[in-house]
A and B are shown apart, each in its own frame.
Chain A
Amino acid sequence: MQNTLLLTLLLPTLATPIVYLLGKKSARASSFLIAFICIVDIVLLFTLVPKIFSADHKYVESYYWIQVLHASFTLFVDGISFSMAVITLILILTAAIFSINYMQERRGLAEYYALLMLLSVGLVGVFITSNLMLFYFCWELMLLPSYFIIGEWGYREPYRAAFKFFIFTHAGAVFVLLGIGAIFMVTGGLDMFQAQTALMNADPELAKWILLSLTIGFAVKMAVVPVHMWLPDAHSEAPAPMSALLSGVIIGAGAYAILRVSLLTVFPAVSATGFGKLFLHGLTVFGVISAFFGSLIALVETDIKRIIAYSSIAHMGYVLFGLSFFPSQEPIIGTVLHLVNHAVSKGLLFLSAGAVMKQLEIRDIREMGGLAGKMPITAIASTIAAFSIAGIPSFACFISEFLIFVGAFQTINFDNFYITPIVLMLIATVLSLAYALRFLSHVFLGSARHEKATDAPSFMKSAMIILAILVIVLGVWPTFFIQLITTVSLVQ
């Protein structure tokens, strides 16, 4: 088909009003519609897999858009984009199914589902465009629906958390905008692939500022430590399906953007200079700081969702650490795979935490305990997710972390700066095992305190089961995604 990618974006866009109208009649129907559209989108994307494995390793569609700015509506997929887009759609699908029971008693579900559908447009769009203007459009389109979902259906003081989330990420986004404007000024175009070659001839001093401005902007979305303050509030106050998306894909989009725009597009222009090396080392340092900071706070936090939120900061630390080995092949493959694996595992962990919160209506882990017998499916799902987060073999995250470390050790051969960070990072993985086990033992093990607790309703269960199976499958057989990601060449 000629317009597969356009269709992938148009379907959810056009479905948004239908979801809204359907939601007025029956919220359940509109959530099924979202799930259906996600499945159709996934199928559409899978039809492109042969093209990714063909000689070009990518598939591009281009449409007329804003002539004055030389911005065309360019959509493309390569191995990395494909992996991220598919995992996003799977998470939205499970979030929609999970919401049927989870959001049951809430008001305004038509609006909720419409916003969820709109969010999927922004999320998928970010991963499948190579035009910076369209990229920015989708980048902010992730923000608006998330703002309203957190604000309207969140807990405690939701608009406060949503405000923090919006201001932080929007502040980051305007720096991205500044960078995009500068790229347009230097190269006269907005296409990432053309910009890459054009920037090679540009003044390295300017390219340095563009790189910094873009990376700072993306780092806010990614919640790297000095700019992470929005994350714990937003993730813990959002309704569980939204937390799953926030933690799974939205912060992952930040990491993807650093890889795609900062590293693949702008970085080659400065890689020859001393600043290039400094920049990569900077990523390493912030990665290590984030990993330690997130893990340590997750170890002492008592709010069930805040533990997971801080663990997300720690995992974004791993991702940033992995990105800093650019352009070596293995760590980057490992990093992208880690984004996929982390999305599934963290999504599952947030959903199961949401299930616990929903059934018990408490959120302090000190008041929980012994739920394994009462909520077996939730307990199993949580265990799978927590083991994956902790990096235990045969669960998803292990393989990607392993790949990152294998690649990292190779890098020591020619840059001995990395020795200390690698050792520190290995210590951080032990910390993540510690907080994952603490989480499990507090919530599910020990003496049963809640006699009346029952397991989650069926739709919540099925959403968790889908993700749990995926975590195991990705843990035992990551070959498909690894092959996909390997097709992307990092050095042009």
Chain B
Amino acid sequence: MIEFLDVSLPVIVYVPLALLTIPAIKAARKRGKWKNILNFCWFLAVFTIAGATVANLALKYYSKQTPQPFLNLSLIEGSSAIFSSMFLVDAVSIYMVIIFTMVGAVAFIYSLFYIDFNEKFSERYYALMLMIIGCVIGTALAGDLLTLFIFWEATAAGSSFLMLYQKTAESLHATLKYLVMIVIASAFIIYGLSVIYALTGTLNFWAVKHALISLADKHLLEIAFIFIAAGYSIEAAVVPFHMWLPDAYTAAPASSSAFLSALVDQGSYYVLLRVLIYILTPQTVLPWTSMFAVLSALTMVIGNLLALTERNIKRLFAYVCIADVGYNLMAITSVTPLGITGNLYFFLAGGIATALSFMAVGIFNSKGFKTLNDFSGVGRKMPLTSLALTVATFSFIGVPAFAGFMAKYLVFTSAIEGNLSWLAVIGVLTSIIQAAYLLRLISYMYSKKISEENVKIEEPKKLLIPIFILAGAIIALGVYPEAVLCLIEPVIQQFPFMP
């Protein structure tokens, strides 16, 4: 039986871990040449503990396949439970927690070496990063709209510090933009939530859903939906609310961009998925599909066109993130089991690929290669990093034998299945644009032949470890996607039983 503690442990374990990280890394830094090994040991300790709590939860959930696969666990038992904070465990949240922990670990070890290597040093950065991982996991496990809101806003607030880290004028400006957007978004969401609470008298996912299905007059719900949808769309950077993302990701240090794109971005898609499909289910509660289909098309087209004209490589990958939002939205809009499979697979494949590209671009940036023209010939100067970036780009393009292919395939197929063939065609056409600008980057990287002044540049070996873990994962997933799809399969089986 899963207790409340089992569910909350993966979240709260990060509080002591984050607090201990500051003295631990400070102590390690004084040890001179042992520093890296000690840092690495601390990293192992942190993620062994965190991983153990996740494994405990997952094993307990899957060991006993109860007839009701959606487990609601509240802080207060009894009749007032419906008003308390709630956790929800189902196959989706378990899956999200697992991938957040794994991708978070790789992003963490990259920043451990990267910040040390490039930036002004501060231990608080790592503590903050761990707190954010905890908050994202809390978001994935949340069982009522308020808990979801609290954890998600905490994630967003924490993210702003990661963006701010370099404290340059540019990053201050970008963070300010982000914070303003986030504050507006949370105001919208709070307003929407209060309307929903007034309508239903509860904020628990299933209670809300049941109350809404039997709701006679849906005008008020539509207003609430507009606010909530706008709020979460701002945080997920859906076009036309995307303006903060390129600035924020470009201004942040590469380790932050990698972390944010791999965890926080995917978290925002998760929130959209949970709220739109599981609570505001189109068939029974609210027909919102056409609206989000248009937003998805806009996001794909604008995101990819902006990337096509962009010459700053880091910013280009930020636009790729926006395009990814569009592809994710397409699968959400289809509201099919296949679409959810596609989404969940995309969270991992897209998260890994964006993280990998930001990590590799971070190394290039630190050597002074920033724009497309700088990148000409880097394939010969820094072969390993270039290889990793090439793997990431092929995954984005959606070439088979790379993880991104299966993600795109599932997304397009689900759109056809959900009677949105026109959206699938737009997706395919924008995917060609994506192939064009990413391939242009590869052509720049490799086309210039090696010459006298074109000598090899030493690549930071330590940073290549996490990079090649992710590159290996992309190829492994590409060749054998079943490894992850089998984790997602229970979700499909649960889909028709959704309460």
Contacts and interface: CB of A to CB of B under 8 A. Distances in A.
Given A68-B341, A144-B394, A185-B413, A177 B435 contact: no
A162 B401 contact: no
Contacts of B440: 163
B401 A140 contact: yes
Interface in B362-404: 394, 397-401
A184 B406 CA distance: 14
Interface stretch (A22-30, A93-101, A166-174): A166-174
B168 interface: no
Contact of B412 (A133, A143, A178): A178
B402 to A, nearest CB: 9
Contacts of B413: 181-182, 184-185
A178 B429 CA distance: 11
A140 B404 CA distance: 13
B435 A171 contact: yes
B428 A175 contact: yes
A203 B413 CA distance: 17
A170 B443 contact: no
Contacts of B75: none
A136 interface: yes
B432 interface: yes
Given A65-B482, A67-B486, A137-B400, A174 B439 contact: no
A160 interface: yes
Contacts of B425: 178
Interface string B439-483: 110010011000000000000000000000000000000000110
A182 B416 contact: yes
A147 to B, nearest CB: 8
B400 A167 contact: no
Most buried by B among A133, A175, A177: A177
A168 to B, nearest CB: 10
A272 interface: no
A137 B439 contact: no
Contacts of B436: 167
Given A159-B446, A178-B424, A178-B425, A68 B492 contact: yes
B310 interface: no
A140 B399 contact: yes
A176 to B, nearest CB: 10
Interface in A150-196: 151-152, 157-160, 162-163, 166-167, 170-171, 174-175, 177-178, 180-182, 184-185
Nearest to A136: B400
A141 interface: yes
B416 A174 contact: no
Given A66-B481, A68-B341, A141-B400, A163 B439 contact: yes
Contacts of A174: 398, 428, 431-432
A211 to B, nearest CB: 15
A298 B421 CA distance: 41
Contacts of A170: 397, 399, 432, 435
Nearest to B424: A178
A485 B111 CA distance: 59
Contacts of B102: none
Nearest to A178: B428
B446 A152 contact: yes
A407 B191 CA distance: 73
A409 B485 CA distance: 52
B4 interface: no
A144 B482 contact: no
Nearest to B413: A181
Contacts of B405: 140
Contact of A177 (B341, B428, B439, B488): B428
Contact of B443 (A144, A160, A181): A160
A181 B416 contact: yes
A66 B412 contact: no
B409 interface: yes
B489 interface: yes
Nearest to A163: B443
Given A68-B488, A160-B447, 10 more contacts: A68-B486, A137-B401, A144-B401, A159-B447, A166-B439, A170-B397, A171-B435, A178-B428, A185-B413, A209-B421
Interface of A: 65-69, 133, 136-137, 139-141, 143-144, 151-152, 157-160, 162-163, 166-167, 170-171, 174-175, 177-178, 180-182, 184-185, 209
18 contacts: A66-B482, A68-B486, A69-B485, A151-B447, A159-B443, A159-B447, A163-B439, A170-B432, A171-B432, A171-B435, A174-B398, A177-B408, A177-B409, A178-B412, A178-B424, A182-B413, A182-B416, A184-B413
Nearest first, the 7 A-B pairs at minimum CB distance are: A181-B413, A159-B447, A137-B400, A159-B443, A140-B400, A68-B485, A171-B432
